[in-house]
Structure 1
Amino acid sequence: MKKKRSVFWKTSFLTAFLVLTLVPVVSANFWNVSGDTMLHDPSITKEGNTWWAFGTGETNKNGIRVLRSDNGSNWSATPVIFPQPLSWWRNYVPNHETNQWAPDVNYYNGRYWVYYSVSSFGSNNSLIGLTSTNSIASGNWRDDGLVIRSTTSDNFNAIDGDLVIDKNGDPWLSFGSYWSGIKLTKLDRNTMKPTGQIYSIAARPNVSDHAIEAPNITYKDGYYYLFVSFDHCCQGVNSDYKIAYGRSKNITGPYYDKNGVNMLNGGGTILDAGNDRWIGPGHQDVYNNNIIVRHAYDAENNGAPRLLINDLYWDSNGWPRY
C-alpha cells in the first residue's frame, strides 16, 4: 500500500468544520456543494430522492465515512459503517488501520453493495471486504465477508475495489494500487465474490513507484471506460494526483487511451489534473455516465480533502470530458 491516507487525515481533518461555506462555481458544470463535504476516496449513489456519498474513514477512528444530501448540494455526516471493527479482519491483516478505506457503493439485484479496503500503510497485506443493505437509509448493514485478499508474496494489492456491471448484466470487480497495477475479476451474481481468473488491465511499468490506483469502470455505447488515478494522493497541497482514462471493447481489455497507448504500458489520457484551488484530484467515481465525483485538496483551506461533483460529458468520438 503506497497511499499515506493518515497524513492528511491527521493534519487536515482539524479543518473539517472550518470549510462549511458554499464552494464557488468554477465552471457551469461544477455542482455547488456545501455543508460537511470532507471526504476522501468518494463513491456516490442515490436512493429515492436522497444522495449518499461514502469515503475513507477518519484516521484513528473506526469505520467508513458516510455523507447524505437531499438535494445534491447541502451535505451532512451520518453514522459511520463499522463503528466497531469486525473481528475476522485481523485473521488476514493483523495490523490493519482502524478506519476502512476507499468504499465503493453500487445498486445491483435489489441491494446496495459496498466494497471496502482493510490494510496497513506501506504494505500489500490487504483485503477487500463486502457489506450490503436493501436500504442505505435504514442503517442496517449485513456483513458479507471476505472478497479477495493479498499478501506480501503477491504482486498486487487488494484495495480500491470497484464494482462494474457488464453489458450482459454480470458483475465484475476491478481493484489495485501500485505494485503490478490494476486488476479485474468476474463475480458470482449471487455471492458477489470472485468466480474466475484475475486479469491485468492497467499498469505504469515505466514509473519508478508504479503509481496507479483507484480504478473505476463504466460501460457506454459499446465501450468500457477505465478511469484510474495516477501519482500521489494524501499530501494535501503537495499531492500530484490526477485522473486518467482509456477504453476497450472488452471489459478485460486491452484498454487504450486517446493516443492509442495500451494502459498496461503506461497509457492514460488525463481528464483532470486540478487547478490552483483544487489540488490533486483523484479516486474518481462515475455515476450513471453523467456525473463524476472525486476528492481534491482545497488550497484555500490548508489542503483539506473535499468532495467535488461534476457533470460528465462525452465528445463526438465517445471520449469523456467535463
Structure 2
Amino acid sequence: MTSTDSLQPTAPAGTETWGARHAHDPTVVRDDDGTYYMFSTDSVANSRDIPAGVHVRTSPDLLEWTYRGTALDGVPAPAFEWSGANGLWAPEVVRWPAAAGEARWHLYYSASTFGSSTSAIGLAVADSPAGPWTDRGLVVRTLAGRDLQNAIDAAVTFDRHGDPWLTYGSFFGGIHTLRLDAVTGFALHDGDLGTCIARRHADVDRAVEGAFLQYREADDQYVLFISYDSLFSTYNVRVAVADEITGPYRDANGTHLTDLDAAPHTAGTKVLGSYRFDGDTAWLAPGHNSILTVPAPGAGTAEDQFMVHHVRFAEDPSEHMVQLRRVFTTAGGWPVVSPQPYAGPERETLGRQEGIGGTWRVLRFAPESTEPVEALPVTVHDDGGVSSSGEPRRVRLTIAGSGLDAQLDAVVFGSWDWSRGRAALSFSGIDQHGVVYSGTQGA
C-alpha cells in the first residue's frame, strides 16, 4: 500500500470511528497500487478540534474508510488572505498528464466563507495522492460586488482533444467552465472566469452548485452533473448533456440549463433525491457528487462507474456521510444511478437467475418535489420474460400501480437491498417525459 505518512497532522482522537461519516463534498481517486483516496471538505459538526486542510480517507475496497488526516497544513496563506476562510471546501483531485509521462496529481481546493462570493480556487500538487502536497497558489479568484461568479466547487475535465477545463461555481452567477493550461494547471488565459453553462433564477435563490463535468467518449458527449436547492435539506442531483464542453447543456426534455424562462424545477433531469425504502433510514439531501471510473472486477477493459456524494440522515440532518452508487447509461444515452448504496461485488451478485417481472418497490424522482420519496409497490412488466443474475442489462420496462404508470428506458442490475439485508435486482430508468424512476425487486 502506498504510504500515507506524508499526510499532514496526525488524526485526532475519535476519528478512528468516523468511517464515511463527517465527509462532505467528496471526491475519490484510485492510486496505482489499488488504494482509494477520498478527499472532502473540512466539515465536522460541533467540533473545533479537527484540523483544516482538506480531509483525507483511504480504503482498499470503497466500503471501509479510514480517516488519515489532511492533505495540507491548514488554509494556504494566499487563499486565507483573499477569502478569510477557516477551512477548505470541495476538493477536486485529478491525475495530471505530467511531462515525460510521470504521474502527477493536482488538488484543486476552494476557500470561502458561507454566503460570500469573495472566494478562491487554489492548486496543490503531489507525486502521489498520499502527498506531500505543495501549494502552488490561486487559480481563480472572485470578489463580491465585482464578479457575478463564485469561485468554489472545482471539477476538472479533459475534453475530446485531451485539453483540461475547470468547471466551478455556486449560487450567484451559476456554473462556469474555463480552459486550463495543460502544463501548469492554471487558467490558460490569466483572469479568465469562463463561460456560463448552468444557472438558476433568483426566485429559487439561484440555487445551483457542486458541478461535475464528464466527457463520455463512447457518445462523444459531455455530461454535466449538478446539485439543486439547499445542501441542508433539499439537495438533489440533476443531469444534462452537451455536444461541446462549453454547452449548451440540455436535459432529457431539451431544456437548456441556462434558460431562466423555464420553470426553475423543470430544468435538469433529476436522477437522485431524498428517499426511503420500507420505513428504513430516510436519506436526505444527496448531492455534490463526483464520478469515479475504475477497472471492473476480472480481466478485460471493462470499467465501472460510481457516483460519489454526501447525504444526510433525515432523523438528524446535522449528521452526514458519503455514499457511492453505481452509475449506468440507458439505451437512449441517459445516465442513471442505483437506488441502493454500493455494497461490493460479492453482496451485489445474485446466486441465481431472477425474472424481472413481478412486484417491486419503486421511487419516482419527481422534478418538482423536494420531499423525501417513499418507495411504493409497483408491478413491473419486462420486455419479454427477461431474467438476470445481476449483470447490468438495458431493458424496456412497463410499470403500473400506486399511481406510478410509465414506460421506461431502463437498466437492470444487481444490488444489495439495505432495508431487507439481501442481494436483489434493482433498476433505474427514465420515461418519455424525462422523469427518472428507480426500484428494487420484492413486494
TM-score (norm 2): 0.62
Aligned to 1:320, which of 309, 332, 335? 335
Structure number with greater Rg is 2
SS in 1 for 2:152: coil
Matched, 1:173 2:166: yes
Q: Distance in 2 between matches of 1:132 and 1:207?
A: 40
The reply on whether 1:54 has 2:39 as its aligned counterpart is yes
Give the 3-state SS of the residue equivalent to 1:191 in structure 2.
coil
Match of 1:9?
A: none
Q: Distance in 2 between matches of 1:176 and 1:103?
A: 13
1:215 paired residue number: 211
Which stretches in structure 2 are left out of the alignment for 5+ residues? 1-13, 98-102, 277-281, 294-303, 338-443
| % same residue | 31
Name the residue aligned to 1:71. Answer: 61
> Partner of 2:133 in structure 1?
141
Amino acid of the structure 1 residue aligned with 2:58: R
Q: 1:17 to 1:38 in 2, by over 3 A?
A: farther
Tell me which residue corresponds to 2:150: 157
Report if the CA contact (8 A) 1:158-1:175 is conserved: yes
Please report how far the alpha carbon of residue 304 of structure 1 lies from its aligned counterpart in structure 2 after TM superposition: 1.1
| Higher deviation after alignment, 142-151 or 266-275 | 266-275
Counterpart CA distance in 2 for 1:211 and 1:36 is 26
Deviation per residue, 1:108-148 (Å, 9 max, x gap): 212121111001122100000011111123x3112121100
Where 2:204 maps in the other structure, the secondary structure is coil
Within 5 Å, which residues of 2 pair with 1:55-134? 55-58=40-43, 60=48, 61-93=51-83, 95-96=84-85, 98-109=86-97, 110-134=103-127
User: For residues 176 and 85 of structure 1, what CA distance do their matches in structure 2 show?
Assistant: 20
Per-residue deviation, 1:90: 3.3
C-alpha contact (below 8 Å) 1:40/1:305 kept by paired residues: yes
Q: Contact (CA 8 Å) 2:284, 2:317: kept in 1 or not? A: no
The answer as to whether partners of 1:17 and 1:36 remain within 8 angstroms in 2 is: no
Partner of 2:227: 229
TM-score (norm 1): 0.84
Residue 306 of structure 1 is matched in structure 2 by 321
3-state secondary structure, aligned to 1:195: coil
The answer to whether 1:42 aligns with 2:26 is yes
For residues 16 and 319 of structure 2, what CA distance do their matches in structure 1 show? Answer: 10
> Structure 1: where are the runs of 5+ without partners?
1-14, 21-34
Q: Distance in 2 between matches of 1:91 and 1:225?
A: 35
Structure 2 partner of 1:296: 311
Deviation at 1:83, TM superposition (A): 2.4
C-alpha contact 1:202 1:255 (8 A) present in aligned 2: yes
Which letter does structure 1 place at the counterpart of 2:169?
Answer: G
- C-alpha deviation, 1:308, in angstroms: 0.4
C-alpha contact 1:112 1:134 (8 A) present in aligned 2: yes
Deviation at 1:63, TM superposition (A): 1.4
State the 1:231 CA deviation. 0.3
Q: Which amino acid aligns with 2:76?
A: L
* Amino acid in structure 1 at the alignment position of 2:225: F
Q: Is the contact between residue 104 and residue 161 of structure 1 (CA under 8 Å) also seen in structure 2? A: yes
Preserved CA contact (<8 Å) 2:20 2:322: no
Quick check: 1:272 aligned with 2:265?
A: no
Count the aligned residue pairs.
Answer: 287
- Please give the alpha-carbon distance, in whole angstroms, between the structure 2 residues aligned to 1:173 and 1:302: 31
Instruction: Find out whether 1:262 has 2:256 as its counterpart.
Output: yes
Determine the C-alpha separation between the residues in 2 that align with 1:49 and 1:41.
Answer: 22
Deviation of 1:70 (Å): 1.1
Mean Cα deviation higher: 224-233 or 201-210? 201-210
2 CA distance for matches of 1:119 and 1:158? 8
Q: Secondary structure of 1:279's match?
A: strand
Q: What's the C-alpha RMSD, in Å, of the aligned pairs?
A: 2.0
Change (3 A) 1:302 1:126: closer
**Segment of structure 1 superposing worse, 75-84 or 220-229:** 75-84
Are 1:247 and 2:241 counterparts?
A: yes
Q: How many angstroms apart in 2 are the aligned matches of 1:284 and 1:58?
A: 16
What amino acid sits opposite 2:212 in the alignment?
N
> Which amino acid counterpart does residue 240 of structure 1 have in structure 2?
T
Describe the superposition over 1:164-188 as per-residue Cα deviations: whole angstroms up to 9, x where unpaired: 1111110000000001100000000
The 1-side partners of 2:203 and 2:269 are apart by 16
